[in-house]
Chains A and B, each alone.
Chain A
Amino acid sequence: MQKGRFGIHGGQYVPETLMKAVTELDEAYTKYKDDPDFQAELTRILNDYAGRPSRLYYAEKMTRELGGAKIYLKREDLNHTGAHKINNVLGQTLLAKKMGKTRVIAETGAGQHGVATATAAALFGMECEIFMGKVDCERQALNVYKMRLLGAKVHPVTSGTATLKDAVSETMREWTRRIADTHYVLGSVMGPHPFPTIVRDFQAVISKEIKQQLMEKEGRLPTAVLACVGGGSNAMGAFYNFINDKSVRLIGCEAAGRGVNTKETAATIATGKLGIFHGMKSYFCQDEFGQIAPVYSISAGLDYPGIGPEHAALYDSGRAEYVPVTDDEAVNAFEYLSKTEGVIPAIESAHAVAHAMKIAPAMKKDDIIVINISGRGDKDCAAIARYRGEELYE
């Protein structure tokens, strides 16, 4: 009866009006996921249009400076539109097109998923509307402009905390209003079934490539894979093909904001508890009455009070570890990777870099860490400059 469960997590907690839409999507995905023509078409677009496979780069200087494990960077930042988000978006939009949908809608936090969705809509000739928290529109103004340039309509969301969670809620409301011609391109491994599975499958290309590329370069598996986690799509993609390789440590880096002992945090595993929200059972930051907490992080992309249900299950089973990383640590890592390797990471990805900086020195020289650089940091430069007290106008 209950679909899309990861242990006790997941499910389909949506209004009756949306059940038809998620059921249709489930049926269509089941049909196309093993269809060789669909997969060949998607691979062609991912390679020729989005620039896959993304590089696995040996960060030699960083390795030497930290003096421990060998560090590799999985360069999802080099994808078209500058982040891993495009992997999922191209998959879902192609699926939507096959389903006969002519319009896509999406939420966005940092704007990367919104830009990716607007890009795919332009590519496939579909109508596109993006919902983005008003606070996020302000801190990621450049991405708002990009979405408009790509032909999308951007709706600033003013309800609640005017950030990612409110953008998700508003996109769900919009989907309830208009289902027949519209697909909701959910941006992370969250929401009602089948989204956590679909998004994970489309992002799993990341770990598939890491495995092949590392085999070619080192002839073995990594010791640890690190990725930042908000909803958790880049992490799920980076972890997925290693889940059965028990020797590989899987480490998700959550946004602790100003610290897990403050209210200004978004670290769900560290501070949340089991709940039901946004279509899924999983862990959520909430108060004693079940009200969803107004979370905070410097990173608009990790500023979400929940975590995808498959991560929640990986945490329960102990297969993956989840660690909090503060704003300060992430900003330091943002600057460090820029200066050391000439790679400006997204502030989201910088959370994973920060944790690598903590653990690498204590590891052995023949250990291997792979950090998923889920996106590039151009969008964050102005905000980081302001964080450091510099006035910078785009």
Chain B
Amino acid sequence: MNKVQKAFERGKAFIPFITCGDPDIATSEKLIYEMAAAGADLIELGIPFSDPTAEGPVIMAANERALSGGVTTDDVFAMVARVRKNCDIPLAFMTYANVVFSRGIDNFVRKMAELEMDALILPDVPFEEKDEFDVCCKKHGISLISLIAPTSNERAARIGNEAEGFVYCVSSLGVTGERAELSNEVGKLIAEIKKVKDVPCAIGFGISTPEQARDMAKISDGVIVGSAIVKIIAKYGKDCVPYVRDFVSAMKKAANSEI
């Protein structure tokens, strides 16, 4: 049973991202439990890729750390299998097309279903190229998450119409990473999507402070935070868990502070 919708049933959703294997798989596993306990509604698990073209320097460095530590897709799958014995929080994989494709798309997605994963996010697979992936995702009950960006304009409605799970709304131009200021422009695209489909919309890219989480939650159904968390992990290494837990707890509260 797909649990993505459940992530949007506890007020504004807070969706943290970590790169699996940064600093190591054991810490990633602990982070999942603690983030779930701290109020995360869905967790994005990054499977490291050698050339993450949609990422800014913070998450790029996390990918490099994980890969140089020898982490593979198999290790990530094994970790999720352990997690699923202890925790039923909705989980999404975030990775790049080639990581999925090289394993055989159907094999990869079937494995996700076995692991009770819920969603798949592929930033280098736009609407025009999604069919090959979507066929397998539909077959195995995995939501292939659609992304919209400030440049989507008239594409937004078309994308929204076929969206599954939730829509990942990219806050601003550029790659992942913290931004000093975020505009509310993405709110207009969310309105376009809501006109065509009743699907949750979460905003990501550039959100790092409780104020930003509050402001972005006002115009959406949830916020996604990656680089700010990865930065804490980079700073504290294996000792990062309590710091990340406190941050997630503060961000979940901030996102829901003005309901």
A interface residues with partner B (beta carbon < 8 Å): 1-3, 11-21, 159-160, 165-166, 169, 172-173, 176-179, 273-279, 284, 286, 288-292
CA distance A16 to B100 in the complex (A): 18
The digit string for B160-179, where 1 denotes a CB below 8 A from any CB of A, is 00000000001001110000
Contact B51 A1, beta carbon cutoff 8 Å: no
**By CB atoms of chain B within 10 A, which of A12, A275, A277 has the most?**
A277
Residue in A closest to B175 when the chains form the complex, CB atoms: A173
Contact A1 B131, beta carbon cutoff 8 Å: yes
Contact B149 A11, beta carbon cutoff 8 Å: no
**Of A3, A13, A165, A291, the contact of B124 (CB 8 Å cutoff):** A13
Task: From known contacts A276-B97, A289-B73, A291-B50, infer whether A14 and B174 are also in contact, taking CB-CB under 8 Å.
Answer: no
B interface residues with partner A (beta carbon < 8 Å): 49-51, 53-54, 56-57, 60, 64, 67, 72-74, 97-103, 123-129, 131, 147-153, 155, 159, 170, 173-175
Residues of B close to A288: CB separation below 8 A? 102
Contact A286 B98, beta carbon cutoff 8 Å: yes
Contact A20 B97, beta carbon cutoff 8 Å: no
**By CB atoms of chain A within 10 A, which of B72, B74, B126 has the most?**
B126
Contact A2 B128, beta carbon cutoff 8 Å: yes
Contact B53 A278, beta carbon cutoff 8 Å: yes
**Of B51, B72, B126, B170, the contact of A14 (CB 8 Å cutoff):** B126
User: Separation in Å of the B122 CB from the closest CB of chain A?
Assistant: 9
**By CB atoms of chain A within 10 A, which of B51, B57, B72 has the most?**
B51
CA distance A273 to B102 in the complex (A): 9
Residues of B close to A11: CB separation below 8 A? 128-129
CA distance A286 to B125 in the complex (A): 19
**Of A13, A172, A179, the contact of B129 (CB 8 Å cutoff):** A13
Q: List 19 A-B contacts (CB under 8 A).
A: A2-B128, A13-B124, A16-B123, A16-B151, A16-B152, A20-B151, A159-B64, A160-B64, A173-B175, A176-B175, A179-B173, A275-B98, A277-B97, A278-B51, A289-B74, A289-B99, A289-B102, A290-B49, A290-B102
Residues of B close to A17: CB separation below 8 A? 149-151, 170, 173-174
Contact B147 A15, beta carbon cutoff 8 Å: yes
Residues of A close to B67: CB separation below 8 A? 291
CA distance A176 to B150 in the complex (A): 11
User: Separation in Å of the A258 CB from the closest CB of chain B?
Assistant: 21
CA distance A18 to B53 in the complex (A): 12
Contact A19 B126, beta carbon cutoff 8 Å: yes
CA distance A177 to B53 in the complex (A): 12
User: Separation in Å of the B69 CB from the closest CB of chain A?
Assistant: 13
Residue in A closest to B100 when the chains form the complex, CB atoms: A290
CA distance A173 to B51 in the complex (A): 11
Contact B173 A3, beta carbon cutoff 8 Å: no
Residues of A close to B150: CB separation below 8 A? 17
CA distance A284 to B50 in the complex (A): 13
Residue in B closest to A158 when the chains form the complex, CB atoms: B57
Contact B98 A16, beta carbon cutoff 8 Å: no
User: Separation in Å of the B168 CB from the closest CB of chain A?
Assistant: 9
Residue in B closest to A172 when the chains form the complex, CB atoms: B53
**By CB atoms of chain B within 10 A, which of A273, A284, A288 has the most?**
A288
Contact A16 B149, beta carbon cutoff 8 Å: yes
Task: From known contacts A1-B128, A160-B50, A289-B99, infer whether A16 and B175 are also in contact, taking CB-CB under 8 Å.
Answer: no
Contact B148 A16, beta carbon cutoff 8 Å: yes
Task: From known contacts A284-B98, A289-B99, infer whether A15 and B131 are also in contact, taking CB-CB under 8 Å.
Answer: no
Shortest 8 CB-CB distances between A and B: which pairs? Answer: A290-B102, A20-B151, A17-B149, A177-B174, A276-B97, A290-B98, A291-B50, A16-B149
**Of A13, A173, A176, A178, the contact of B97 (CB 8 Å cutoff):** A13
Residues of B close to A16: CB separation below 8 A? 123, 126-127, 147-149, 151-152, 155, 159, 170
Contact B126 A12, beta carbon cutoff 8 Å: yes
Contact A292 B131, beta carbon cutoff 8 Å: no
Known contacts A172-B53, A179-B151, A289-B74; can you find 13 more A-B pairs with CB under 8 A? A2-B131, A15-B149, A16-B152, A17-B149, A177-B175, A273-B102, A276-B97, A277-B97, A286-B102, A289-B103, A290-B73, A291-B99, A292-B98
Residue in A closest to B108 when the chains form the complex, CB atoms: A290
User: Separation in Å of the A186 CB from the closest CB of chain B?
Assistant: 14
**Of A14, A177, A284, the contact of B173 (CB 8 Å cutoff):** A177
CA distance A289 to B101 in the complex (A): 9
Residues of A close to B124: CB separation below 8 A? 13-15, 276, 279
CA distance A294 to B92 in the complex (A): 28
Contact B128 A12, beta carbon cutoff 8 Å: yes
CA distance A292 to B96 in the complex (A): 11
Contact A19 B155, beta carbon cutoff 8 Å: yes
Residues of A close to B170: CB separation below 8 A? 15-17
Residues of B close to A12: CB separation below 8 A? 126, 128-129
Residues of B close to A179: CB separation below 8 A? 151, 173
Residues of A close to B56: CB separation below 8 A? 173
Residues of B close to A292: CB separation below 8 A? 50-51, 98
Residues of B close to A19: CB separation below 8 A? 126-128, 149, 151-152, 155
**By CB atoms of chain B within 10 A, which of A16, A177, A284 has the most?**
A16
CA distance A177 to B177 in the complex (A): 11
CA distance A237 to B61 in the complex (A): 38
User: Separation in Å of the A382 CB from the closest CB of chain B?
Assistant: 29
User: Separation in Å of the A283 CB from the closest CB of chain B?
Assistant: 12
User: Separation in Å of the B144 CB from the closest CB of chain A?
Assistant: 13
CA distance A279 to B124 in the complex (A): 7
Residues of A close to B102: CB separation below 8 A? 273, 275, 286, 288-290
CA distance A166 to B53 in the complex (A): 9
CA distance A288 to B98 in the complex (A): 11
CA distance A137 to B151 in the complex (A): 33
CA distance A353 to B51 in the complex (A): 33
